[in-house]
Structure 1
């Protein structure tokens, strides 16, 4: 299904293939030879999304742009099943395995691999040809690649990256943080009420 969102329709190259159960919404450009499989959701929430040539977005993956962080996915990238990309830049020839999570402002260098259930955190920069092992967390710039049992180090690095401030414009110490966050985010998402299905 395709939707016009905020007055912008997806642009899909005639040589791309989009499954009928995939959702493509808003300012999305999909390049030649790209494949978007069943259940994938590619949604431009006020920022553009560009998929290059021969990109494969597998089943139930999510690609989401924001007004602050557009998404660019280079050529010959594979986005695995149930992977999630939010507001990130992915260079050419990158492999994002099943269940990977890539957060706002992250940049993944050419020919990098992010393996099953690994995380590339907010504003993290992976140099070219970086490998993030299964279940590990990449965080920061310069990047630290940490095993999940190093939770204290991951948490310390995350705190400096300021997820609520960077993504939602809210101070982490706000007493009613989740009240403000959900109300603000909900107002933004409510703009989908005016979407128009076009295909």
Structure 2
């Protein structure tokens, strides 16, 4: 299903194949010979998404751009089942295994491998050929690798995390943080009320 969102319609190359149960919404460009499989969601929430050539988006994967962070995925990249990419730039020939997660502002260089359930934290910068092991977390610039039990070390590698501020525009110290966050986010998402299926 394809939707016009905020006046922008998806643009799908005539050699690309999009499954009928995939959702493509807004300012999305899908390049030549791409494959978008069942249940995948590619949604441009205020910022553009561009998929290069021969990109494969597997079942139930999520690719999401925001006004603050566009998405660009390079040629010959595979986004595995249940993987998610939010507001990141991805080089050519990258492999995202099942359940991999990439957060806003991350830069993933060419030929990287993000293995099963691995995480690339916000604003992490992965040089060409980086491998993030199964279940591990990549953080910082220069990037460092952490096992999931290293919460303190991960926090130290990301001194400017401020996820609520960067993604939602709400100061982390706001007394009613979740009230402010959900009200602003709901207001933004309400723009979908005017979407049109195309």
Structure 1 length as normaliser, TM-score? 0.97
- 1:140 and 1:161 in contact (8 A); partners too: no
User: How many pairs align?
Assistant: 198
1:159 positional shift = 4.9
- Three-state SS of the structure 2 residue aligned to 1:3 is strand
1:155 positional shift = 2.8
Gaps of 5+ in 1: none
- Three-state SS of the structure 1 residue aligned to 2:29 is strand
Question: Does structure 1 residue 79 correspond to structure 2 residue 92?
Answer: no
- Three-state SS of the structure 1 residue aligned to 2:160 is helix
Moved more, 165-174 or 111-120: 165-174
Structure 2 length as normaliser, TM-score? 0.98
CA distance in 2, matches of 1:118, 1:16: 28
Gaps of 5+ in 2: none
- 1:2 and 1:23 in contact (8 A); partners too: yes
**Correspondence for 2:136:** 136
Moved more, 168-177 or 98-107: 168-177
- 1:64 and 1:86 in contact (8 A); partners too: yes
**Correspondence for 2:118:** 118
**Correspondence for 2:95:** 95
CA RMSD of the aligned region, Å? 0.8
CA deviation profile, 1:78-108 (whole Å, cap 9, x unmatched): 0000000000000000001100110000000
**Correspondence for 1:16:** 16
CA distance in 1, matches of 2:140, 2:163: 12
- 1:83 and 1:100 in contact (8 A); partners too: yes
